[in-house]
């Protein structure tokens, strides 16, 4: 009995050979240096921000080099699959400006000549290569049960040996073809293992595009390549898919780095040309004194949906991720405040080698800078789009006061130092609520922020006097002169030095008078320019607010 008959008994329906597939997927016709990258999620339905991080690197590296960026669905663990997850992935990536040039285009559709792009539809391909390895004596069926393996492990641990299925401990390695066939004919369950040619005493050198030069012991474990359900393991599928699909650069999370010895070996055994690898750092979060992985269970910000709900413009998230990818992005952005982020060149070798820290405070900073660069009309469009879905009340108020809102969004925008009020659309309501009587009415008296040393009754005295003197139709300088005149009349200093010299002689500073006006109109101590607010509110609203304040 020869090995070919064993291979035929295991895969009776496989009638192709590896050459068929190697010829079917020829080398891609791309320009010199073009990179082929892929985003390869499992369709579990949860869109993790780490996925956008990965896909962004893939997309940038491919697009920058005029290469190909494709979507492959890794659904060999069918227990975890969720319906609609592929479409959801594509939609999510599209929202972040990440569009695939090739690969899955929907749950049942794809484009490109290197498909199928969904692993569950590639089973015949994996089996063809596994069959060939068996026929060549490079892989074999293993009939060990989980109990057998557990026993083996316990023995190895008690003898202080490296646990695993390898060398002399790989008992099914030594089954004769007849023995193996007999077990198969008896209906025993089995998996297919690689007969590892590796020696753990020897080392393999490798260059990772992010981690740099690395070396590790050769793999000597007879790893599983085909599971008992007939589907491949990640290792086997990775080698076959990335080889046949012409991936030049495998960019994936560093959790796969420890499997690299297996992958290098598989590429050799399968006689494939190896791709380049770039293992990206895991996204971490500062938690008290220590760092930990951003967790799906504990951290709301791990879900992409969080950024939608909070209303971060997608460009803010992208720019923040670019900051994590290459810290030089920040400097580039300062030098090129209005350039499109696509003009920044992502370099894998400038990426941090260890954990990437995800920090919402920094994201907010980046996002404030992004939003402050947007024109008021654009802010209005983004905001109403968001509010339509996430804050109906604000949507109604803002769209029925479009002109006023555009003026509000334009406050201090045109100058050299534009205001940075909003990091996300969910911040807008608290920053502009006072322009709307409906919202202002509901803002309780306890929320009023008066100047530090001014009591409510004193603030009311100030407003009573100021409301009589107040002129709507004046320019900013005159307006301030008039405010100062009221301050002097009420015993407030207009000159800081004079006040400092003899504080007892005054009730306070003119800033206390302005602060009281601000409190009467907005209930807040921190607002944009008061004159501008009053101009936008209009004379009538200002006067009504003054009257209401006096009678609080």
Residue positions in the annotated binding site?
A: 296
Q: Is the alpha carbon torsion for 316, 317, 320, 326 positive or negative?
A: negative
Q: Which of 325, 341, 316, 251 is nearest to 283 (CA)?
A: 325
Q: How many residues bind ligand GLU (CB under 6 A)?
A: 6
Is 88 an interacting residue with respect to ligand GLU (CB under 6 A)? no
Options 38-46, 84-92, 292-300, 467-475: segment touching ligand GLU (CB under 6 A): 38-46
Nearer to ligand GLU, 43 or 515 (CB): 43
Nearer to ligand GLU, 221 or 233 (CB): 233
Q: How far is the CB of 267 from ligand GLU (least distance, A)?
A: 14
Q: Are 139 and 175 in contact (CB under 8 A)?
A: no
Among 6, 18, 42, 451, binds ligand GLU (CB under 6 A): 42
Is 281 an interacting residue with respect to ligand GLU (CB under 6 A)? no
Nearer to ligand GLU, 131 or 252 (CB): 252
Among 10, 36, 40, 56, binds ligand GLU (CB under 6 A): 40
Options 1-9, 34-42, 77-85, 204-212: segment touching ligand GLU (CB under 6 A): 34-42
Q: Which of 45, 38, 58, 46 is nearest to 321 (CA)?
A: 58
Among 235, 252, 518, 523, binds ligand GLU (CB under 6 A): 252
Is 238 an interacting residue with respect to ligand GLU (CB under 6 A)? yes
- Going by the DSSP 8-state scheme, the letter that residue 167 receives in this structure is G
Options 40-48, 122-130, 142-150, 203-211: segment touching ligand GLU (CB under 6 A): 40-48
SS3 at position 426: helix
Q: Are 225 and 236 in contact (CB under 8 A)?
A: yes
Q: How far is the CB of 72 from ligand GLU (least distance, A)?
A: 8
Residue positions in the annotated binding site for ATP?
A: 296
Options 37-45, 178-186, 453-461, 487-495: segment touching ligand GLU (CB under 6 A): 37-45
Among 41, 141, 451, 515, binds ligand GLU (CB under 6 A): 41
Nearer to ligand GLU, 38 or 523 (CB): 38
Q: Which of 512, 469, 480, 516 is nearest to 493 (CA)?
A: 512
Nearer to ligand GLU, 40 or 192 (CB): 40
Q: What residues contact 314, with CB distance under 8 A and at least 6 apart? A: 95, 96, 97, 307
Nearer to ligand GLU, 112 or 167 (CB): 112
Q: Are 73 and 118 in contact (CB under 8 A)?
A: yes
Is 125 an interacting residue with respect to ligand GLU (CB under 6 A)? no
Q: How far is the CB of 321 from ligand GLU (least distance, A)?
A: 17
Q: Which of 134, 145, 231 is nearest to 189 (CA)?
A: 145
Distance CA(293)–CA(265), nearest Å, equals: 30
Distance CA(543)–CA(152), nearest Å, equals: 86
Options 39-47, 329-337, 345-353, 502-510: segment touching ligand GLU (CB under 6 A): 39-47
Owner of token pair 């960026």:
69
Q: Are 21 and 125 in contact (CB under 8 A)?
A: yes
Q: What residues contact 129, with CB distance under 8 A and at least 6 apart? A: 18, 21, 236, 240, 270
Distance CA(543)–CA(549), nearest Å, equals: 10
Task: Write out the two tokens for 447.
Answer: 């929320």
Is 449 an interacting residue with respect to ligand GLU (CB under 6 A)? no
3-state secondary structure 300-314: HHHEHHHHHHHCCCH
Q: How far is the CB of 79 from ligand GLU (least distance, A)?
A: 14
Using CB under 6 A as the binding rule, the residues of this chain from 60 to 79 that contact ligand GLU are 74
Is 257 an interacting residue with respect to ligand GLU (CB under 6 A)? no
Nearer to ligand GLU, 252 or 424 (CB): 252
- Going by the DSSP 8-state scheme, the letter that residue 225 receives in this structure is E
Q: What angle do CA 369, 373, 376 make, to 5 degrees?
A: 125
Nearer to ligand GLU, 25 or 256 (CB): 256
SS3 at position 143: coil
Q: How far is the CB of 422 from ligand GLU (least distance, A)?
A: 34
Q: What are 279's strand-pairing partners?
A: 252
The footprint of ligand GLU (CB under 6 A) covers 40-42, 74, 238, 252
């Amino acid at each position: 009995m020869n090995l070919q008959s064993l291979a035929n008994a295991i895969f009776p329906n496989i009638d192709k050979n590896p050459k068929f597939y190697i010829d079917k997927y020829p080398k891609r016709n791309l320009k010199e240096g073009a990179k082929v990258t892929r985003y390869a999620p499992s369709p579990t339905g949860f869109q993790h921000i780490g996925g956008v991080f990965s896909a962004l690197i893939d997309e940038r590296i491919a697009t920058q080099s005029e290469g190909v960026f494709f979507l492959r669905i890794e659904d060999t663990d069918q227990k975890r699959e969720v319906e609609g997850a592929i479409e959801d992935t594509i939609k999510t990536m599209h929202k972040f400006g990440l569009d695939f040039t090739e690969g899955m285009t929907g749950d049942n559709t794809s484009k490109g000549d290197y498909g199928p792009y969904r692993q569950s539809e590639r089973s015949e391909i994996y089996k063809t290569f596994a069959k060939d390895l068996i026929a060549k004596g490079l892989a074999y069926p293993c009939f060990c049960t989980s109990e057998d393996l557990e026993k083996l492990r316990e023995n190895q641990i008690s003898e202080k040996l490296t646990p695993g299925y390898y060398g002399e401990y790989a008992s099914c390695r030594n089954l004769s073809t007849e023995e193996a066939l007999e077990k198969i004919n008896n209906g025993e369950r089995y998996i297919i293992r690689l007969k590892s040619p590796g020696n753990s005493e020897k080392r393999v050198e490798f260059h990772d595009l992010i981690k740099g030069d690395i070396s590790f012991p050769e793999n000597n474990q007879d790893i599983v390549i085909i599971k008992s359900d007939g589907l491949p393991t990640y290792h086997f599928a990775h080698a076959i898919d990335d080889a046949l699909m012409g991936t030049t650069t495998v960019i994936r999370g560093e959790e796969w780095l420890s499997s690299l010895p297996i992958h290098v070996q598989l590429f050799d055994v399968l006689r494939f040309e190896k791709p380049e690898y770039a293992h990206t750092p895991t996204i971490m979060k500062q938690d008290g004194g220590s760092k930990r992985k951003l967790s799906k269970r504990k951290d709301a910000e791990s879900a992409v949906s969080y950024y939608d709900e909070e209303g971060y413009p997608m460009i803010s998230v992208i720019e923040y991720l670019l900051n994590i990818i290459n810290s030089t992005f920040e400097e580039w952005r300062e030098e090129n405040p209005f350039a499109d982020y696509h003009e920044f060149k992502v370099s894998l070798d400038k990426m941090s080698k260890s954990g990437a820290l995800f920090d919402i405070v920094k994201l907010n900073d980046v996002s404030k800078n992004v939003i402050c660069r947007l024109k008021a009309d654009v802010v209005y469009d983004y905001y109403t789009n968001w509010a339509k879905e996430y804050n109906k009340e604000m949507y109604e108020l803002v769209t029925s006061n479009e002109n006023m809102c555009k003026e509000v969004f334009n406050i201090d925008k045109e100058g050299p130092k534009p205001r940075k009020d909003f990091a996300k659309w969910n911040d807008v309501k608290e920053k502009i609520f006072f322009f709307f009587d409906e919202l202002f009415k509901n803002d309780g008296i306890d929320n009023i922020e008066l100047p530090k040393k001014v009591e409510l009754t004193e603030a009311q005295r100030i407003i009573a006097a100021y409301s009589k003197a107040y002129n709507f139709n004046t320019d900013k300088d005159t307006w301030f002169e008039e405010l100062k005149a009221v301050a002097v009349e009420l015993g407030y200093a207009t000159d800081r030095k004079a006040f400092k010299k003899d504080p007892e002689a005054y009730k306070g500073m003119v800033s206390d008078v302005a602060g009281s006006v601000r409190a009467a109109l907005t209930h807040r101590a921190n607002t944009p320019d008061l004159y501008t607010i009053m101009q936008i509110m209009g004379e009538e609203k200002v006067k009504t607010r003054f009257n209401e304040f006096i009678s609080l």
